[in-house]
Structure formats: structure tokens, C-alpha cells
Amino acid sequence: MKYQAVRGARDLFGEDIKMFDRLEHLSQKILLSYAYEEIRTPIFEKVEVFNRSLGKGTDIVSKEMYAFKDRGNRELALRPEGTAPIVRAVIEKNLIKKDKVNRFFYKGAMFRYDRPQAGRYRQFYQVGAEIFGVHDPWLDMEIIEVAVKILQVVALEKFKLYINSLGCLECREKYIKVLCDYLISRSKELCPVCQNRINVNVLRVFDCKNKDCIKLLSEAPKILDYICQNCTKDFTLLKDYLDERGIEYIVDRALVRGLDYYTGSVFEIKTDMLGAQDALAAGGRYDSLVKELGGNDIPAVGFALGEDRIIEVLKKNNVSYKYQPKITLIAVEKNAKNEILQNMKYIDKLREKGYIVNYDISNRSVKSQMRMAHDKKSDFVVFLEGNDRFSLKNMETGKQEQIHGIELLKTLGAGI
């Protein structure tokens, strides 16, 4: 009996794992350069952490959570997103300095029981960042800037940034009433799912893909027309800051996020290269969540970007990362181990310099070792010819030269 990975969960290897590695490495470099500090939380939490923060009416909590009881009868869930655990952790460990800008980032696997399809997995990976402590649209801009910067640095070119404001809790309450009145007055034109959403999580009607609902919602009142003066001022400032930083955006008046905790600005970065699952990153302000989870009244803003989808777009654009050159050693005589031992001082040095050094110890023919060099996509082949003599072949140009002793390291830029 051969086993298969669980539906929606992937094994990552070969070129894919290099892409993930590179994306995480570059994201981390950027986040550190903006003074974010890494935080790593467990992949499971008490289920209540998510129920409380995401909202019971949300799709994630009501349908998509991997919730289970452990052997001690604790109600737990695999994290479906990163923000709620981080908020739990910063409150519990007292990590927020009051009235200061506190920046954190995370990376790791998330789990949602949704129908798997291209770009949608049940285990997927996110890099995310959160800022706690200060309510200032400048920080909303910074969060967006960092997300955009990461996409640019990994060489993702075509994407669009959409922004909107969901207002503060008071604006939202007023708006939801107006929206509900409108939808109830025309509820017969809505699909059954949206009819139900009126009572459960009404803002989600804007995510409906049904044509009739889309048409009806295009005429519906929009939250931007109902937000208070302060929220309007914040949103204007955010747009000004984005303009000043040269970050292009589109105001999408129908953009709502699927989670309850957002207040104020929200954003999404989308691509047109992935079909239906087009969101690459998303985030926004959530000023009441820290308090909701038992902390002080501390404002916050954050984003999460979806690594799996970013990598899919990069692959479609034929972006591949080559960051460590590869060398295959080929023992010409049939005494591979001996030759390798003789040359270990060079091999160690090459590895130290970042080369990937590979060899075969089973005394196969030169032809078969060359095949391995091709399979491994080696950049160089070094023939070990005995007595400190080598032939160095550049696999890209095909050029081959004879080299003696330490010259090998110098030629490969790994001189002592």
C-alpha cells in the first residue's frame, strides 16, 4: 500500500523548495531592514483565540478551521492565519511597549479546510508583519510599502494594489445597518448564500461571485460614503503618503476583508496571472483586536502574503533563483574515496565559500559521473587527476583547463 499526502497538502522539494527558501530569505532581509523582529508562535492554539478574533460568522471559523480535541480534551486548532496567535503572544509575553512602534514579523505554515484548487491549498505558507502601539496612517503606508517591496525584490512585476477603508467600529455599525436595509429591501434578487450573509456576516456579500449579486452590490451603498471624519482623514492621509512614496494604488470601494477584526484601512495586492485565486497579499488596520483578546487598548496594523501563490506567479514568469554555484567532482581513476580524501583541504574551502560540492564514491565510470554532473545541473566539473592535478570544466561555456594545486581555488574565486 502506497500512501499519498493528504489532499490539499503538498510535499515541497527540488526547484520549489529553493523558491520558498529564497522568498523567505529575501522577505526576512527586507523586514529586518525595516526594524521588524521575528516572532514564532506554535502552529496550534486554543480554538478560542481564533473564534474571538476572526469572528464566528467568518468562513474561516465556521467552515475552514482544522479544529480538534487533544488527548487532554483541550479544544485546539491549527492556525488558519498568523495575526491572532501573534496578538495572543504579545499580550501574554508583554512584548508591546506602550505608545511606541512595535514591529514584528512571522513566517510559516497556515491551515484552512477549503476546497483545494490551483493556488489554494489546505496547508499553505505566509510571511506576515504586524505593527502594534501607534495609530498613524503613516504606519498603514509602511505596512503596504513593505509588502510591495517584498514583491518587487523577488522580481514579481505585474501586480495591483487595491485599498479601501472599513471605518472604525462606530462607522461600521452605522454602515452595516444601511447596507442591511438596502439588501433586505432587495433580498429576493440575492443568491441564497448572500441572503444568509445578511444575518451572519453581511460585509461578505461583496465577495460573492454570483452575477446578480455583483450587479445588485454595484448599486449598493458603499462604506467609504459612511465613514466618520476621523476615518476619512486617516484614509486621505494614507493615500497622500502612498503618493509621496510613489506607490500606485486603486481605491476599491467594494473591498472588504473576510475577517471581523479589521478597522480602518484594508488592502489587497492582486495579480491577473492566477485566475480565481488572485490575491497575493492582504492586510489592514485592526485597532480593537488586542483589547478583544484581553490586552490593553492598543492599535495595530499588519499584512500577510501568500508564498505559494507568489511562487506560482514567479514560475509562470520563468523566474528562477540560482544562488549557490554547484561543482561536481569526478574521480578519473577508480579510487574515488582516496582522491577525495587527498583533496579535502580544497573541498572544505570551496564549501566554506558557498559552493555546493557533490561527488560520487562508488567508482563509477567517468561517463556515468558526468551524467550525474548534468543531472545535478552543475556549474563546474572538477576532474581529480591525482597528485594535485585537476581539469576544471565550465559547464556553461564548455571550456576546460588544466590546473595545478591551489590554482583551483584561485580560479574558482575561493583563494586563500
* Residues of this chain that bind ligand AMP (CB under 6 A): 81, 112, 114, 119-121, 124, 126, 279-282, 304-306, 308-309
| In the complex, least distance from residue 313 CB atom to ligand AMP, rounded to whole angstroms | 10
From the DSSP assignment, how many helices (H) and strands (E) are in the chain? 15, 16
Which of 206, 131, 147 shows the shortest CA–CA distance to 176? Answer: 206
The crossing angle, in degrees rounded to 10, of helices 137-153 and 14-33 is 140
Nearer to ligand AMP (CB atom), residue 17 or residue 341: 17
**Cβ at position 31, least distance to ligand AMP in Å:** 16
Taking the complex as a whole, the smallest distance from the CB of residue 56 to ligand AMP amounts, in Å, to 17
Q: Which of 12, 269, 255 is nearest to 121 (CA)?
A: 12
Cα–Cα distance measured from residue 328 to residue 338, given in angstroms and rounded to the nearest whole number: 16
CB of 34 to ligand AMP, least distance (A): 19
- If you search the block for the grid coordinates 479546510, which residue do you land on? 113
At position 274, the amino acid (one-letter code) is L
Which is closer to ligand AMP, CB of 23 or CB of 305?
305
Nearer to ligand AMP, 207 or 407 (CB): 207
Residues across the chain: 416
Nearer of residues 130 and 308 to ligand AMP, judged by Cβ: 308
239 to each of 245, 276, 388, how far by Cα in Å? 10, 27, 65
CA-angle at 136, arms to 134 and 140, nearest 5°? 105
Q: Cell 445588485, residue?
A: 216
Of 80 and 331, nearer to ligand AMP (C-beta) is 80
Q: Which is nearer to ligand AMP, 156 or 280 (CB)?
A: 280
What are the φ and ψ backbone dihedral angles of 217, each rounded to 5 degrees? -75, -25
- When the beta carbons of 149 and 174 are compared against ligand AMP, the nearer one is 149
User: CB of 231: closest distance to ligand AMP in angstroms?
Assistant: 21
CB 278, min distance to ligand AMP, A: 9
Q: From start to end of 207-310, where are the E strands?
A: 250-251, 265-270, 279-285, 300-306
**Measured from the CB of residue 331, what is the shortest distance to ligand AMP in angstroms?**
45
User: In angstroms, what CA-CA distances link 123 with 81, 163, 211, 318, 370?
Assistant: 11, 27, 30, 24, 38
Q: Output the residue with the shortest Cβ distance to ligand AMP.
A: 306
In whole angstroms, the minimum distance from the beta carbon of 193 to ligand AMP comes to 18
Minimum gap (Å) between residue 305 Cβ and ligand AMP: 6
Question: Residue 103: which H helix or E strand, with range?
Answer: strand 102-111
Which of 357, 408, 411, 368 has its CA nearest to residue 385? 408
Nearer to ligand AMP, 81 or 339 (CB): 81
Name which of 256 and 384 has its Cβ closer to ligand AMP: 256
